[in-house]
Amino acid sequence: MIIGTGIDVVLVQRFAAALKRTPLLAERLFTEAERLTVSGNPRSSESLAARFAAKEAVAKALGVPGGLQWHDCEVVTDSDGRPWLTTTGTVSAAAAALGITRWHLSLSHDGGIASATVIAEGEG
């Protein structure tokens, strides 16, 4: 059963400017694994903006509870390049309280916009 859905869009140029203006912002928002590609290179602004949109979409799927920590929701990529979510701490606790047992994630970026859609699934 679908327990929650979330969607978010981010203007890539604005997000890139925020990262440039505030050098530690990327470390506050993303885990090291999120900031780097599989080959160890820094991710593009488009890719980071999509991951930020995913974190915002997760919060929306959870009903936007207070106290969520950015690093407690991580967008990881499997060996085929497919993104998926892992949750810990505050995000896992909020999801468990709602009966969420599985996440579905879609990321996209094109034309200067990054977006993410999240579906939270569980027994309800």
Considering the entire predicted model, what is its pTM? Answer: 0.94
Beta bridge pairs of residue 76: 84
| CA 88 to chain CA centroid, nearest Å | 13
Residue with tokens 């929306």: 60
Please, are residues 49 and 10 in contact by the beta-carbon 8 Å criterion? yes
**Residues 87-107: pLDDT tens digits?**
999 999 999 999 999 999 999
What band does 124 get if pLDDT is binned at 50, 70 and 90?
Answer: low
Residue 78: band (very low, low, confident or very high) from pLDDT cuts 50, 70, 90:
confident
pLDDT of residue 21: 97
pLDDT at site 23: 84
**Residue 86 pLDDT grade (very low, low, confident, very high; cuts 50, 70, 90):** very high
Those residues whose C-beta lies under 8 Å from the C-beta of residue 41, and which sit 6 or more positions away, are none
Q: Which CATH superfamily does the domain covering 2-122 fall into?
A: 4'-phosphopantetheinyl transferase domain (3.90.470.20)
Q: What residue segments make up the domains of the chain, in order of their start?
A: 2-122
Band (pLDDT 50/70/90 cuts) for residue 76 is very high
